[in-house]
Amino acid sequence: MKVLHTADWHVGRTIRGRSRADEHRAVLAQLVAVARDADVDLVVVAGDQFDVQAPSPEAEQIVWQALTDLAEVAPVVTVAGNHDNGRRLEAVRGLLSANAIHAVGQVRRPEDGGVVRIEAADGTPANIGLLPFVHHRSAVRAVDLLDPDSGDAEYGAAYAGLYARFAAALTKAMPPDELNVLVGHVTCFGGTRGGGEREAHTIERYCVDGRAFPQQLDYVALGHLHVAQQVGSAPPVHYSGAPLMMDFGESDKPCSATIVELRPGRPAVVDTVGLDAGRPLRTLRGSLDQVMALETPADDPWLRILLTGTVPAGVADTVRDHLGEGVVDVRLDDRDTATGQPVGDRVGRPPQELFATFLAERQITDQRIGTLFADLLEEELAAEGGVEEVVDASA
């Protein structure tokens, strides 16, 4: 059986408020072409099809169309990730199943949709266990968090233990002489994070060990971490990688999906397939003069500009006018913003002095900003019957 393993689409994700819908359409169309070219027998989508639990109609149209297009190539199985709304996915299970899309939004018993049986083109059967994201609230109660005698080790053990029991229950009746696959959305110990996932759902207390998956599995297809990688070998546990760079923390991580060949009694053959239909994310660092000397990149990336040294007011518009609308973030480089001047106690200090300190800390030397602040403050105080004169913050 040949399987396309993908995850972490995050349809609906924006980049600093800019829509990425066209990118998602393009990269998911590329994913369909990969499935077709590889002539796969099964498509696995291991969670986080959406970026938020209340997606826009446009995001829903993109996801449902992509799943339908993939199902025209081969049967599709999918689970809810932490960004998805599990109950919302459950609500459309019937509609999806009519199109050869087997979706599970909540943990189900094997006989109630938790395990589906798929046959390859040559008749080889495979049992697919579907385990959606398990929230830590399922394992750790609020009262547990208030217990002074409990700590991270106890919380982690409770979560990992619950997840292992779910995995064991789904795979218990799978025949060891057939192909057996588990699809999940979870963080495994030792996995490399891509940079775009919520820290609250990837910290170690909510992790599982790659060795916790039952031995009769031929492959474990995971989503949640956005980098293609293997985190366990017995059974083989893999993340497919994400099809798009989600944020600038992932700008050095390749986008990918995974093709897996499974044969009874043989090790899985895993191949990572690069996806390049999305726009790259790139960070440029330097002084304003250095940035203004650059040419607009030919590959049309989203750009984050980190500036060193002093900058004038309106610098973001200046940079964007030069490098184009792909510039979505302009800020001072955190590595070069310290002035050595302590902030000190803010209590009792006049607003002019506080604002002047703020400008100095940000290395903003444009005196017009201080003058404007003084004028606005004077108007506000005069309207409230305050002082008649305000010291210029730029002095």
pLDDT digits (tens, 9 = 90+) for 244-256: 999 888 888 899 9
241, 354: one domain: no
pTM higher than 0.85: no
Q: Which residues pair with 187 in a beta bridge?
A: 207
Q: What is the pLDDT of residues 8-57, one digit of tens each?
A: 999 999 998 899 999 999 999 999 999 999 999 999 999 999 999 999 99
CATH of the domain at 175: 3.60.21.10
Can you tell me the distance from the alpha carbon of 278 to that of 10, in angstroms, rounded to the nearest whole number?
13
CB 38 within 8 A of CB 2: yes
Write down the pLDDT at residue 395: 38
Tell whether 392 is covered by a domain.
no
* pLDDT above 60: residue 204: no
164, 107: one domain: yes
Return left, alpha or beta for 22; rule: phi > 0 is left, psi -120 to 50 is alpha, else beta: alpha
31, 80: one domain: yes
Tell whether 393 is covered by a domain.
no
Tell whether 62 is covered by a domain.
yes
Select from 213, 239, 274 the last residue of a domain: 274
* pLDDT above 50: residue 342: no
Average pLDDT of the chain, as a whole number = 86
307, 269: one domain: no
* Domain that residue 347 falls in: 281-383
197, 306: one domain: no
97, 66: one domain: yes
The residues, any chain, with a CB within 8 Å of residue 101's CB and separated by 6 or more, are 67, 68, 71, 75, 76, 77, 78
259, 317: one domain: no
* Terminal Cα distance for the chain, rounded: 74
**Counted domains in the chain:** 2
Other Cβ atoms within 10 Å of 121 Cβ, number? 11
242, 221: one domain: yes
CB 244 within 8 A of CB 10: yes
224, 302: one domain: no
Select from 274, 297, 319 the last residue of a domain: 274
The residues, any chain, with a CB within 8 Å of residue 332's CB and separated by 6 or more, are 306, 307, 308, 311, 362, 363
182, 214: one domain: yes
Select from 243, 274, 305 the last residue of a domain: 274
361, 339: one domain: yes
Angle at 45 between CA 47 and CA 7, to 5 degrees: 60
Write down the pLDDT at residue 387: 42
228, 293: one domain: no
